[in-house]
């Protein structure tokens, strides 16, 4: 192990935490501000890519047993389900509803069904981006 590897691995642990926090912030702020599932998913995927670059693929795969192909499929399924579900309730495709709720820690908070759609988009983007990077790294 080179000294540069130790520095990279140590710094990447903190940077991944910062990137994941920023990605989650972008995801949740996307309904009313710039951001959302796509850009939040890209930022979160970049944290996974940094982990794969800092450590080898086997180490990260053991620590995070996530099948990114299944994750992208789950994301598509979630996004499509959130789009089709309103049709069974008499609404149009991709119509949304929202309400204001008093949550214990957050206080009065708006919850919207578009967050479910955005979660599907984020999962799809994370799965596809990480799959592309892993496919490229296997072709060495």
Q: Domain range holding 73?
A: 5-138
Average pLDDT over residues 18-25: 94
Torsions phi, psi for 48 (to 5 deg): -65, -40
| Residue 97: per-residue pLDDT | 85
How many domains, the chain? 1
- The model's pTM: 0.86
Residue 103's pLDDT band, with cuts at 50, 70 and 90, is confident
Work out the burial of residue 19: count CB atoms within 10 Å of its CB; fewer than 13 is exposed, 13-18 middle, 19 or more buried: buried
Q: Which residues contact 23 (CB under 8 A, 6 or more apart)?
A: 40, 41, 42, 43, 44, 46, 47
Percent of the chain with pLDDT strictly greater than 90: 46
């Amino acid at each position: 192990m080179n000294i540069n590897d130790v520095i990279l691995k140590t710094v990447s642990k903190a940077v991944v935490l910062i990137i994941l926090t920023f990605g989650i912030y972008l995801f949740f702020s996307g309904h009313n501000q710039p951001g959302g599932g796509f850009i939040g998913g890209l930022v979160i995927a970049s944290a996974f890519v940094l982990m794969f670059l800092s450590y080898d693929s086997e180490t990260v795969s053991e620590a995070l047993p996530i099948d990114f192909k299944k994750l992208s499929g789950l994301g598509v399924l979630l996004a499509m389900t959130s789009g089709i579900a309103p049709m069974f309730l008499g609404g149009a495709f991709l119509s949304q509803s929202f309400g204001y709720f008093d949550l214990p820690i957050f206080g009065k908070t708006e919850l919207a069904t578009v967050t479910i759609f955005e979660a599907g988009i984020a999962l799809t983007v994370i799965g596809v981006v990480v799959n592309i990077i892993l496919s490229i790294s296997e072709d060495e």
